Structure 1
């Protein structure tokens, strides 16, 4: 296995198997096409060497029965490298070229209709520029595009001879079920809000022998989305962790640690540079602007260098620094250790979380969360956000409480269970939504304390939390929901440089991070607000503080 996912084979001239000449056939067909913006003689389509090798690698390798081996392609490539043109000619290959199947359905899927139509318009432009029509048994011949190909704009379709067609669809899958495409182009999946259309295409392709999906995208932001899931799966294939010979992975991406201002880094991930695209002068101009504006810098890293960024535009901590705390936690071994709880209660449908914190040597902490969300809207929440709430519930990472709001009684019951199991010294609440819960707990002798969410309380708490994380002394066990919350954080500073978390500005949930800051803060102070009746037994025999 190799940690290097870079597609060296695209440039090394190594042999690409083509036992039946299908790769050569595909290249010949594409070269016979024209492009209205091409600067080559007679507007011939510009298929550069790196693109040609990708085409040969898709269509050349076959099994002994002449079946193409590759049926899934994931290409992560920065903007400006003519990925739309490549996707367009591959689709024409399946509707006019040697890969044509009569009555075939080809789909262009994107975030919305506007984005999906970009590739469709590219196809239209190539067709109108003229070229050849492949007919099995008759070789190639010239054709009159306007008379042989119909543009059905009202249906977002291009209709070809043999009743094959290309249709642009958006990531709203409400009307997409029942599809059986022979070829699907999934465009810019980093921007897809949910995975429905991906699943529809996936199941449709499995019904059609010899089908092919090509995913062309730049990088994006955050990890709880279909784009990251697809790209991360592709990385594992490229590293040799997963064996999928049918899946061709081509990842032109940059490590977050790389110097984003280094032009050698630019050239490594932009294969079109040596052929005149993207425009190096414009790239330099954008880089100059990015030095002054953090938001432009993030855009430059994502779209021109394919650095996959955290959810937050101004992350609290880098994900690789946070991940250093992914160490095994033995909760049983912590039962007798002093413990502090931070509780972030939701208003209605938000996440609610309890985070327990234990001291771990000098300035170190161990934390573990318990998440809750309403059970009735679990599927709806997943549909709207693309976040895998259903999977988390099935894996026991989040507790779905009855009803369409978080059942606070369930949360309170869990707090009591944790106090009975661990040596809990304090239970910190933001009193805004916790008055009744705090009253119930205090009445029974549990050590509930107020922890307001303003600057005075949160700034020092966040400072302590940040120090532990940056110092590699924050052990969290890799809990995926907690990690997601931390990577969603948007910070804001006051004039004195104090930092707090902004729930209003965060695009996704940060509740687990807030509760962690509360618990760590109380643990750092080592306060003990247990009742003097800590050894008194309740009638049911359970010891209370």
Structure 2
């Protein structure tokens, strides 16, 4: 397999150089895609008719994906909507590497063994349909491997469990659907093993649901090097040349019913504007699913209280409240061991209709874990910092979780007005309704703070009585929403003051 066949020769008769994009494309052109017998029968073909094999032709966007790897880049990240043949490209790339790299050690890592086996079965299907590959490769699916007969090189699939990945030294590691990995520890271990053989990693994924996840933060860091943006396509190479980030995605503020625009995020030729329209108009299509898996937008499911499509247009660069501004309200939600402590400054830009701004200097403090509590001194230091910026701010605090004690200290030592607002269902439902109204009508400016937005987008709604709903976490172990709760408390206070400038006596300490 290391020799170049006539099918791999260019028009001028010279050989194509192995381990290059043209050579890989020629290799793939001799392979065939799985048959689509059911589709043929729907078009009126007899049941016994077998459709003609379709060659695996590498499209221009797929050449863009593999080019960094063939150029020697150590890490290539690709984020692409579902249905754009990511798995087939990964399988073909793994087999090519196995055939043309001496004593190759190819590892395919996925979130689960079920997902990993799916890609292995796809690669095995390519081998079964290719007489040439069958002569050179052994399928050992019982041990989740494909072996090269000539030198013992192998392709092996593993889950993203760090215990299974520790110690590997891949020549190529393909990481499948990183957005589903619970942690990126396995990725780090695989990366550390690259030096053993001068290996490379290519990670191919769809968009995730939480931009504050490990993969989401990795994406944010990578896109700081954005060099090319052409429609939905984004190209971000590291200045060092260590990695390249390739992404096809729309922005949450885009018109997701502009099917010509959505097509730019789906470069596979067989995906057409007409097929996209048909998918969108299907009664089973949900907006969040469409946004994430077809448009490449990071968002949670349709049950989330606030979607990324609504939240993103409210983002404002350099989102700050003027230092020393009056009528600033700082919502505080305490979480000492399990949840986070959030301090969110909010300011009313207008009273009628109420329009607010969230300051980018908001604070979210995370407990150290392992049952240890967040330091009171750390929380107090942040309170003092915000107090110095807005000396006349009002703090709105839940009296529970030591809130009343902290509130008294704020009044006594910093001389701020403190409003104790218990997180009872009815007032919090009113606060949630107000926040959602502000977001829907784009009457809230926020800084796009990654962790803050994660808190906002993680919230779900729970019914309170017959007609009201409040913000809650989906499960006790789900992503925190404390910053959203703090925002809701502050916004509710702004609304109360706008409607009635007098003090809210029942909740004010010592006033």
Category of TM-score, reference length = shorter chain = 0.7 to 0.9
Q: 1:167 to 1:453 in 2, by over 3 A?
A: same
| Per-residue deviation, residues 250-301 of structure 1 (Å, max 9, x unmatched) | 5333343445455545544444453xx699779836632146xxxx332233
Do the aligned partners of 2:161 and 2:186 also contact (CA within 8 Å) in 1?
A: yes
> Secondary structure of the equivalent of 1:236?
coil
Partner of residue 31, structure 2: 33
Do the aligned partners of 1:109 and 1:187 also contact (CA within 8 Å) in 2?
A: yes
Do the aligned partners of 2:145 and 2:154 also contact (CA within 8 Å) in 1?
A: yes
The answer to whether 1:519 aligns with 2:490 is yes
* Cα distance in structure 2, aligned partners of 1:373 and 1:285: 41
Q: 1:49 to 1:220 in 2, by over 3 A?
A: same
| Per-residue deviation, residues 209-238 of structure 1 (Å, max 9, x unmatched) | 3x3332222223221124434555368243
TM-score w.r.t. structure 2 length? Answer: 0.74
Partner of residue 250, structure 2: 254
* Cα distance in structure 1, aligned partners of 2:491 and 2:372: 31
Query: Given the alignment, which residue of 63, 66, 76 partners 1:58?
Result: 66
Q: 1:75 to 1:287 in 2, by over 3 A?
A: farther
Q: 1:206 to 1:45 in 2, by over 3 A?
A: farther
Do the aligned partners of 1:365 and 1:475 also contact (CA within 8 Å) in 2?
A: yes
Partner of residue 9, structure 2: none
Do the aligned partners of 1:58 and 1:248 also contact (CA within 8 Å) in 2?
A: no
> Secondary structure of the equivalent of 1:54?
helix
* Cα distance in structure 1, aligned partners of 2:345 and 2:276: 50
| Per-residue deviation, residues 411-437 of structure 1 (Å, max 9, x unmatched) | 357546755774356433223333662
Q: 1:25 to 1:498 in 2, by over 3 A?
A: same
| Per-residue deviation, residues 333-385 of structure 1 (Å, max 9, x unmatched) | 32x735433221226321012333444454444544333332244xxxxxxxx
Q: 1:42 to 1:326 in 2, by over 3 A?
A: same
How much has 1:130 moved relative to structure 2?
A: 3.4
Partner of residue 46, structure 1: 55
TM-score w.r.t. structure 1 length? Answer: 0.70
| Per-residue deviation, residues 64-85 of structure 1 (Å, max 9, x unmatched) | xxx8345544333333333222
Do the aligned partners of 2:178 and 2:215 also contact (CA within 8 Å) in 1?
A: yes
Do the aligned partners of 1:312 and 1:489 also contact (CA within 8 Å) in 2?
A: no
Partner of residue 144, structure 1: 135
Partner of residue 81, structure 1: 84
| Per-residue deviation, residues 278-331 of structure 1 (Å, max 9, x unmatched) | 99779836632146xxxx33223322333332577434262322312642456x
Do the aligned partners of 1:342 and 1:428 also contact (CA within 8 Å) in 2?
A: yes
Choose 224-233 or 24-33, whichever is displaced more: 224-233
Q: 1:298 to 1:464 in 2, by over 3 A?
A: closer
Which ranges of structure 2 fall in alignment gaps of 5 or more residues?
1-14, 41-49, 230-234
| Per-residue deviation, residues 88-110 of structure 1 (Å, max 9, x unmatched) | 111111112x3x222x2111111
Query: Given the alignment, which residue of 425, 428, 438 partners 1:458?
Result: 428
Partner of residue 43, structure 2: none
The answer to whether 1:175 aligns with 2:167 is no
Partner of residue 434, structure 1: 402
How much has 1:117 moved relative to structure 2?
A: 1.4
Structure showing greater relative contact order (alpha-carbon pairs closer than 8 Å, 6 or more residues apart): 1
The answer to whether 1:348 aligns with 2:337 is yes
The answer to whether 1:406 aligns with 2:374 is yes
The answer to whether 1:369 aligns with 2:362 is yes
Q: 1:408 to 1:462 in 2, by over 3 A?
A: same
**For residues 226-241 of structure 1, what are the structure 2 equivalents within 5 Å?**
226-232=214-220, 233=222, 236-239=226-229
Which ranges of structure 1 fall in alignment gaps of 5 or more residues?
1-17, 134-142, 378-402, 535-543
Partner of residue 281, structure 2: 287
Q: CA RMSD in A?
A: 4.2
* Cα distance in structure 1, aligned partners of 2:299 and 2:435: 22
The answer to whether 1:322 aligns with 2:314 is yes
The answer to whether 1:92 aligns with 2:92 is no
How much has 1:115 moved relative to structure 2?
A: 0.7
> Secondary structure of the equivalent of 1:374?
coil
Do the aligned partners of 1:236 and 1:242 also contact (CA within 8 Å) in 2?
A: yes
How much has 1:511 moved relative to structure 2?
A: 0.5
How much has 1:476 moved relative to structure 2?
A: 4.8
Do the aligned partners of 1:34 and 1:44 also contact (CA within 8 Å) in 2?
A: yes
Do the aligned partners of 2:455 and 2:480 also contact (CA within 8 Å) in 1?
A: yes
The answer to whether 1:305 aligns with 2:295 is yes
* Cα distance in structure 2, aligned partners of 1:515 and 1:424: 18
Q: 1:289 to 1:355 in 2, by over 3 A?
A: same
* Cα distance in structure 1, aligned partners of 2:366 and 2:299: 27
Q: 1:35 to 1:442 in 2, by over 3 A?
A: closer
Partner of residue 487, structure 1: 457
* Cα distance in structure 1, aligned partners of 2:316 and 2:27: 51
